[in-house]
Structure 1
Amino acid sequence: MCGRASVEDEIWLTAREAAELTGVSVVTVYSWVNRGHLKVGGLDHRGQRLFRHLDVARAEKATRAKAKRLLALASPSSVTSEQSLPIR
């Protein structure tokens, strides 16, 4: 992972670097783009998409927070005692 710095000293990452940094797959990074969680900031000299480090962190935080909400909804502790009673 060798992020690139621009004139403004922002750190730019390729999809592979962003995936390595966040512990997800490259497919997940592109999924964030398709869902609007992450914007492509530009292209490198090889035509690879570049993402701002801060934008990658925000996308990761947003999607992980959503995943935690979904897990909380599906957990057994979210089922009330009335819902767990057998129907007769």
Structure 2
Amino acid sequence: MQAPTPLADRGLLAFSGGPSMEDEVWMTVKEAALHAGVSVQTVYSWVRRGRLEVTGLDHRGQKVFRLLDVARAEKATRARARRVLVPAA
């Protein structure tokens, strides 16, 4: 898998000001799914549930996400999956 390239090299538009666009790695939904090892539907589910924020749009209008945000959503999802629920006695 090829590493995602920085925002400025891909012609992406950011929704809000923040850290320098050149310092961040941005990825599309498909790239985020590949990076996190989940399906595209899971990425859309994270967005719908508020666990992952859409950071901008690329030149085709596709949603893009920061690599750090994708990693955080994946980590939180995997941590929740490891929880063991004990039935009430």
Aligned counterpart, 1:29: 43
Q: What is the identity, as a one-letter code, of the residue corresponding to 2:64?
A: L
Give the length in aligned residue pairs: 75
Pairing 1:63–2:77 present: yes
- Cα root mean square deviation, aligned: 1.7
Which of 11, 15, 18 is the matching residue for 2:29? 15
Q: Which has the higher helix share?
A: 1
Q: Which runs of 4+ in 1 moved over 3 A?
A: none
Q: TM-score, normalised by structure 1?
A: 0.76
SS of the counterpart of 2:72?
helix
**Aligned twin of 1:5:** 6
Q: Deviations over 1:24-51 (max 9, x none)?
A: 0000000000000000000000010000
Identity of aligned residues (%): 61
Write out per-residue CA displacement over residues 22-78 of structure 1, whole angstroms, 9 at most, x where no aligned residue: 110000000000000000000000010000000000000111111111xx22xxxx5
Displacement after TM superposition at 1:8 (Å): 3.1
User: TM-score scaled by structure 2?
Assistant: 0.76
Per the alignment, in what secondary structure is the counterpart of residue 46 of structure 1? Answer: coil
* Structure with higher RCO (Cα < 8 A, 6+ apart): 2
